[in-house]
Amino acid sequence: MSAPTADAALRPVAGRGAWLGFGNLARNEAAQWTRTRSVWVQPLVWLTILVAPLLLPLVFMRELFAAETGGTFEAALEMVFQMGGLALPIGAVIVLHGAIIGERQTGTAAWVLTKPASRTSFVIAKFAVHTLAMLVVALLLPTSVAYGILSWEAGGALPLGPYAAAVGLLGLNLAFYAALTLMLGALARNRGTVLAVGLAVLVGADVVLAIVPALAHAGPWMLGRMATVLVQGGPLVTSWPLLAVPSWILAFLALAVWRVRREEF
């Protein structure tokens, strides 16, 4: 977050408490999505990542994919959710890895926290705004476009319930990595550490799960696979991640708030 300009200044507020200044801080964070080129760049990027690959099984390599088990439709359907399960967490790490560190380094955090704004609001506003923005721009927009394309390919509207539930699992996965990255930013002192740890949790999970398979139920690592199964009409393999992941999110945010409240900016 950069220092507010004259036309985007924080508004005066009165009151006390943990949520003091939340509205002002949230508006300032939202400006990064609505008042910069992100307003058109981010939708274009995510449509390219999640929707453009459908051209392979549906257009350019249709005959090749038609020969595979399940055909072109199943290949395209799986592609959306497999890509989403990997690309969305990476996007969350990239978007949020400098949210706190950047403001610490530039001195913006010290300036903002001299205003009527609590440190709890400082952290939660970042999580709420950037996670919500990514859910809309990086998840709902591309998957809605993909739904239309896939329905056209199938010759009729896909069952909305399983599709929406699978999208919800990807959203929960995204929120986990957003909260994790924000917490790492509160604890670490450089962006490289946040990026490295955040991405290691994502890409290194398979190695850990191969050693301790039971951990698959205690984190988000099955959510992408579960989404792919669910959208194809399969059952929800396990409900444990649906309980564990929100708990981790709350714990990450609590730790981030705790650290920021004790830091001398």
Question: 95-148, pLDDT tens digit by residue?
Answer: 999 999 999 888 888 888 888 889 999 999 999 999 999 999 999 999 999 999
- Residue 24: pLDDT over 60: yes
Of all residues in the chain, what percent carry a pLDDT higher than 90?
Answer: 71
- 120 burial via Cβ count (<10 Å: 0-12, 13-18, 19+): buried
What's the rounded mean pLDDT across residues 169-195?
96
- Residue 38: pLDDT over 80: yes
> What confidence score (pLDDT) does residue 223 get?
94
Q: Which amino acid does the sequence have at 120?
A: T
Q: Could you tell me the pLDDT band of residue 3, with boundaries at 50, 70 and 90?
A: very low
> What confidence score (pLDDT) does residue 6 get?
43
> What confidence score (pLDDT) does residue 66 get?
82
Q: What is the mean pLDDT of the chain?
A: 90
Q: Could you tell me the pLDDT band of residue 45, with boundaries at 50, 70 and 90?
A: very high
Report CA-CA distances (Å) from 44 to 40, 47, 252: 6, 5, 30
Q: Could you tell me the pLDDT band of residue 71, with boundaries at 50, 70 and 90?
A: confident
Long-range contacts of 82-86 (CB under 8 A, 24+ apart): 82/224, 82/228, 83/49, 83/50, 83/53, 84/50, 84/139, 84/142, 84/143, 84/170, 84/224, 84/227, 85/170, 85/173, 85/223, 85/224, 85/225, 85/227, 85/228, 86/202, 86/224
Of all residues in the chain, what percent carry a pLDDT higher than 70?
Answer: 93
Higher pLDDT, 204 or 172: 172
Q: Could you tell me the pLDDT band of residue 244, with boundaries at 50, 70 and 90?
A: very high
- 147 burial via Cβ count (<10 Å: 0-12, 13-18, 19+): middle
What's the rounded mean pLDDT across residues 158-171?
96
Can you read off the two tokens belonging to residue 45? 């990027």
> What confidence score (pLDDT) does residue 160 get?
96
What's the rounded mean pLDDT across residues 215-228?
92
Higher pLDDT, 68 or 255: 255
- Residue 14: pLDDT over 60: no
- Residue 207: pLDDT over 90: no
Helix, strand, coil share (%) of the chain residues, nearest 5 = 75, 0, 25
> What confidence score (pLDDT) does residue 106 get?
86
What's the rounded mean pLDDT across residues 46-58?
94
Q: Report the alpha-carbon distance of residue 67 to residue 153 in Å, rounded.
A: 16
